[in-house]
Structure 1
């Protein structure tokens, strides 16, 4: 009787914990700022208001001669801090672009499942401010108008795929006399962990099925 009681109790507690975990929301905060030669990119992932992952790149340096990008990556996961200096060359970026295209093609093939997940993603806040100047008033005005159109179209498309708690804050400030540009971006999104797990399982199964069908077609061909 005692063993049965403890077994039921443990199973019940584990079940309740799993249900609570699946219903819990993952909150992702992403910010980026570029002013003059200073860059700052931050990414934070939270669960139950605890930070489970943090990523920060306080400096991004573009080397036009070597055609490379050097940045310092500071990350924190499970309480462990890690600082690493990385360098992306032109060849590294090409490989990254090819891998991204391959992954994007797979996502497009499975877009129904991806869109189903995006429908459960909530955008809590979205702010995108751009200041730009070319030194010429006419060209600055044209670029500002073009940028307004790009921002509006992008947010309009995302508005059909995601749930927004409030309208996005889009700002474009043209400088008609000075030359230069500055960007500040901030976005907070959240989704239930259960939806992410379910979508991940569906994508893995679909990729395995696609790979199996491709192998069968190759062998029969």
Structure 2
């Protein structure tokens, strides 16, 4: 065989190897959330290949807009480790009620156009692992009786949510749940963190299945990035 045939074979083999590596690569997502009265913080870190690839989304501020019924987010995105600041981007985002409603409409559109979407998602979620779940809450209303009632209700709510999650996701360890009543003051503090892991190939297969079981014509999505698929212009 001539040299260009060998070159094509080598390139095809390398491409196939790359696809296999991508499919079997595990993506680890670390989620941390803090809410304390007017202080909110949300952080998501994505890691692959034992931390060689890292991407962090940090939202240190969430507040209600003074000019209208909007939610203002201060978002920081960073590629690489924490010491690297050259690839960090900061921006403020405003989430409006119309954007929230558009998200709900897009969800309904997906349910209409994708046959057995719930089954596709559930099959994927069964391959997702969740570990190191920590969910601590401190609650106080200023009234001892009401605080006790709220404490019991929050315990019940947490138990129901964890039970529901365990039916979809593979919990690797017993969640660390706490609800601490504060009978001296009105306060609400919540800390939540967990580690989620799945193979990138399983997520790619979800996309293929959505295309395979798509029914009807082109959908008119309104939110990013779904609006890019439908060719709709996204209004800012």
**What TM-score range do you get, normalising by the shorter chain?**
0.7 to 0.9
Partner of 2:72: 70
- The DSSP-based 3-state class of the residue aligned with 1:167 is coil
Partner of 2:12: 11
The separation in 2 between residues aligned to 1:41 and 1:196, in whole angstroms, is 23
Correspondence 1:117 to 2:118:
no
Q: 1:104 to 1:176 in 2, by over 3 A?
A: farther
Q: Which piece of structure 1 moves more, 155-164 or 88-97?
A: 88-97
The separation in 1 between residues aligned to 2:115 and 2:146, in whole angstroms, is 37
Match of 2:191 among 169, 184, 201: 184
CA displacement, residues 69-96 of structure 1 (integer Å, 9 cap, x when unaligned):
2221112358743211122344444444
Q: 1:179 to 1:199 in 2, by over 3 A?
A: same
Partner of 2:157: 150
Partner of 2:178: 171
Partner of 1:219: none
- The DSSP-based 3-state class of the residue aligned with 2:180 is strand
C-alpha contact (below 8 Å) 1:33/1:185 kept by paired residues:
yes
Q: Structure 2 matches for 1:76-115, cutoff 5 A?
A: 76=78, 80-103=87-110, 109-115=116-122
Q: Structure 2 matches for 1:13-52, cutoff 5 A?
A: 13-48=14-49, 49-52=51-54
CA displacement, residues 3-27 of structure 1 (integer Å, 9 cap, x when unaligned):
2444333322322222122111011
C-alpha contact (below 8 Å) 2:134/2:175 kept by paired residues:
yes
Unaligned runs of 5+ residues in structure 1 are 215-221
Higher helix share: 1
The separation in 1 between residues aligned to 2:206 and 2:154, in whole angstroms, is 34
Q: 1:98 to 1:212 in 2, by over 3 A?
A: closer
Partner of 2:230: none
Structure 1 residue 184: Cα displacement: 0.7
- The DSSP-based 3-state class of the residue aligned with 1:176 is coil
Q: Which piece of structure 1 moves more, 62-71 or 11-20?
A: 62-71
Partner of 1:211: 216
The separation in 2 between residues aligned to 1:102 and 1:10, in whole angstroms, is 40
C-alpha contact (below 8 Å) 1:107/1:114 kept by paired residues:
no
Q: 1:13 to 1:94 in 2, by over 3 A?
A: closer
* Pairs aligned (count): 212
C-alpha contact (below 8 Å) 1:29/1:186 kept by paired residues:
yes
